[in-house]
């Protein structure tokens, strides 16, 4: 337990310069990943989860993007200080990444074999022959039939699910210590999604690779991860073990997320969506970023940005108040009752009016 984490992100700050001003895409984000552990990062589009993962790979398009502060400690080394050539020895070798859209993530004019072997030859110093054999092994490992023949095919000859398998095989080629999967199933059909998740779960157990699993789908998180961090507006707003987070969410945003998906455990609850839109990251304000959409908002929320605080053992949340899920449901029920009452009153009004005339 005392072992140092494989990856430790400390106070990461990422900014993008745009025509309208500086966008603070990632704000003071800290988290860590242990060896062999699977960490889920959950958040809606624009919450900064992809930017965070690209920062770890130092693949932020620059300009306009730039890491403005913080540390990314990988096995004790700060990647932020690494030179581009030092970083190249890490990428695809010790940390590799799988992207969202398998349809566009493979080079259309190069054969699959060429694309798979290039990192093997680069990082592991394999001969073309050795690399090809390794690529065949990798393809059969991710469940692609007749791998020796498929190596000579072009990406457009593969289906979406098959391409994502190829991407995973490419990601695992050099036995990385950390695999970052950025929404690897979002672009796929539901049945294919399940197959890919199953494959990732199996490979995780076989290879012992640590995984950062980025998604906006809480259902996927439940089945895949050991721990979860929830991101909102470029900040980490809650962090807990997967089990704890699902049973005892403490940040109103997480509560809102959980209330907006159907539960499969038989408990009948009403689905309540989160109103409004995420905030504009252009403005840097001293307030809770979730305040405009929060059901529990207080005066204090407008003047103070809450930082993560311990709410339970191994569980932190960025909320000034002690909120739990029951409160929101009670409130929702109350709101529904009020609405119903208002409707009834209006109906009675109409009926009374009709009777009078």
Partner 1 sequence: MATASNVAGKSPAQAQEFTRPVRSLWSDAWLRLRRNRLAMASIVYLFLLALVAIFAPVIAPHSPSRPTSTELRERGTYRQAAWIVDEKNPKRSGVWKFPLGTDSAGGDVLSRLIYGTRVSMVVGFIPMIFTLTIGITIGLVSGFAGGKLDSLLMRFTDIVFSLPDILFFIIVQTAFSQTAFGKTFNGLLLIFLSFSAVNWASVARLVRGQVLSLKEKEFVEAAEAIGVRRGSILFRHILPNTLAPIIVAGAFIVPSAIVTEATLSFLGIGIQPDTNPNNPFPTSWGQMILEGKSAIDSQPWILIASAIAIASITIAFVALGDGLRDALDPRQ
Partner 2 sequence: MIGFIIRRVLAMIPVLFLVALITFFMMKQAKGGPFDQEKEVAPSTIALLNRKFGLDKPAWLNSAEFSNRLSTEGNPFLALRGLFDSQFGNYLINAVQGDLGPTYASKGTETVQDKIKETFPISLRLGMISLAFALLVGFPLGILGALRQNTIFDYFSLIISTIGFSVPTFVTGLLLLLVMSKVFDVAPIKDPSVWQGFSTSYIPPAIILGLGTMAYITRLTRSSVLEVKRQDYIRTARAKGLGDRVVILRHILRNSLIPVITILGPAVAGLVTGSFIIESVFRVPGIGSEFIGAIGSRDYSMIMGSTLFFSLLVALGNIMVDLSYGLIDPRIRNS
| Binding residues for partner 1 (CB under 8 A) | 19-20, 276-277, 279-280, 282-283, 291-292, 295-299, 301-302, 331
Compute the least distance from the CB of residue 233 to partner 1, in Å: 12
String marking each residue 119-138 x if it binds partner 2 according to CB under 8 A: x--xx---------------
Q: From the list partner 2, partner 1, none, which binds 152 (C-beta under 5 to 8 Å, kind-based)?
A: none
Compute the least distance from the CB of residue 126 to partner 2, in Å: 14
Compute the least distance from the CB of residue 122 to partner 2, in Å: 6
Q: Does 157 bind partner 2 (CB under 8 A)?
A: yes
Alpha-carbon 225 to chain mean position = 11
Q: Does 267 bind partner 2 (CB under 8 A)?
A: no
Read off the tokens for 114: 């060429």
- Residues 6 or more apart in contact with residue 107 via CB below 8 angstroms: 115, 155
Q: Does 59 bind partner 2 (CB under 8 A)?
A: yes
Read off the tokens for 241: 């073990």
Residue with tokens 């990082």: 123
Q: Which of 35, 66, 88, 293 binds partner 2 (CB under 8 A)?
A: 88
Element at 167 (helix H, strand E): helix 160-172
Task: Choose between 98 and 229: whose C-beta lies nearer to partner 2.
Answer: 98
Task: Choose between 46 and 176: whose C-beta lies nearer to partner 2.
Answer: 176
Task: Choose between 101 and 226: whose C-beta lies nearer to partner 2.
Answer: 101
Q: Where are the beta strands (DSSP E) in the chain?
A: 7-18, 21-33, 38-42, 65-74, 77-78, 95-98, 178-182, 210-215, 227-232, 235-241, 309-312, 315-317
Task: Choose between 146 and 302: whose C-beta lies nearer to partner 1.
Answer: 302
- Cβ(163)–Cβ(155) below 8 Å: yes
Q: From the list partner 1, partner 2, none, which binds 298 (C-beta under 5 to 8 Å, kind-based)?
A: partner 1
In angstroms, the CA 62 to CA 241 distance is 34
Structure letter (DSSP) for residue 264: S
Q: Which of 15, 47, 96, 215 binds partner 2 (CB under 8 A)?
A: 96
Q: From the list partner 1, partner 2, none, which binds 292 (C-beta under 5 to 8 Å, kind-based)?
A: partner 1
Alpha-carbon 86 to chain mean position = 26
Q: Which of 11, 62, 107, 127 binds partner 2 (CB under 8 A)?
A: 107
String marking each residue 182-221 x if it binds partner 2 according to CB under 8 A: ----------------------------------------
Alpha-carbon 34 to chain mean position = 17
Compute the least distance from the CB of residue 283 to partner 1, in Å: 7
Task: Choose between 261 and 282: whose C-beta lies nearer to partner 1.
Answer: 282
Task: Choose between 87 and 222: whose C-beta lies nearer to partner 2.
Answer: 87
**How many other CB atoms sit within 10 Å of the CB of residue 255?**
25
Compute the least distance from the CB of residue 299 to partner 1, in Å: 6
Nearest in space to 50 (alpha carbons), one of 138, 209, 181: 181
Compute the least distance from the CB of residue 97 to partner 2, in Å: 5
The residues with which 17 forms a beta bridge, in sequence order, are: 22
In angstroms, the CA 84 to CA 137 distance is 31
Compute the least distance from the CB of residue 111 to partner 1, in Å: 29
In angstroms, the CA 327 to CA 52 distance is 32
Nearest in space to 6 (alpha carbons), one of 168, 178, 195, 208: 178
């Amino acid at each position: 337990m005392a072992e140092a984490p494989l990856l430790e992100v400390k106070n990461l700050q990422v900014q993008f310069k745009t025509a309208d001003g500086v966008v603070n895409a990632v704000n003071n984000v800290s988290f860590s990943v242990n060896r062999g552990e699977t960490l889920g990062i959950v958040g809606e589009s624009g919450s900064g989860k992809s930017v965070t993962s690209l920062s770890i790979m130092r693949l932020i398009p620059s300009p306009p993007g730039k890491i403005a502060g913080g540390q990314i400690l990988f096995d004790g080394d700060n990647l932020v200080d690494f030179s581009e050539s030092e970083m190249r020895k890490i990428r695809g070798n010790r940390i590799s990444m799988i992207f969202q859209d398998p349809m566009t993530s493979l080079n259309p004019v190069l054969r699959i074999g060429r694309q798979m072997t290039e990192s093997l030859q680069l990082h592991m110093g394999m001969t073309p022959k050795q690399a090809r054999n390794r690529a065949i092994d990798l393809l059969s490992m991710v469940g692609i039939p007749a791998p020796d023949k498929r190596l000579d095919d072009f990406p457009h000859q593969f289906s979406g699910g098959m391409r994502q398998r190829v991407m995973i095989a490419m990601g695992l080629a050099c036995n990385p210590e950390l695999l970052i999967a950025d929404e690897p199933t979002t672009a796929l059909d539901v049945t294919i999604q399940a197959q890919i998740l199953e494959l990732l779960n199996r490979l995780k157990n076989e290879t012992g690779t640590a995984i950062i699993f980025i998604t906006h789908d809480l259902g996927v998180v439940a089945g895949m991860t050991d721990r979860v961090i929830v991101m909102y507006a470029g900040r980490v707003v809650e962090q807990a073990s997967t089990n704890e987070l699902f049973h005892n969410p403490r940040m109103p945003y997480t509560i809102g997320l959980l209330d907006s998906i159907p539960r499969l455990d038989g408990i009948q609850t009403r689905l309540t969506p989160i109103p409004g839109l995420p905030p504009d990251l252009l403005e840097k304000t001293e307030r809770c970023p979730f305040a405009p959409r929060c059901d529990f908002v207080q005066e204090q929320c407008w003047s103070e940005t809450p930082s993560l605080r311990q709410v339970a053992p191994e569980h932190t949340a960025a909320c000034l108040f002690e909120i739990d899920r029951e409160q929101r449901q009670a409130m929702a029920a109350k709101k529904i009752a009020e609405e119903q009452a208002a409707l009834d009153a209006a109906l009675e009004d109409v009926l009374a009016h009709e009777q009078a005339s």
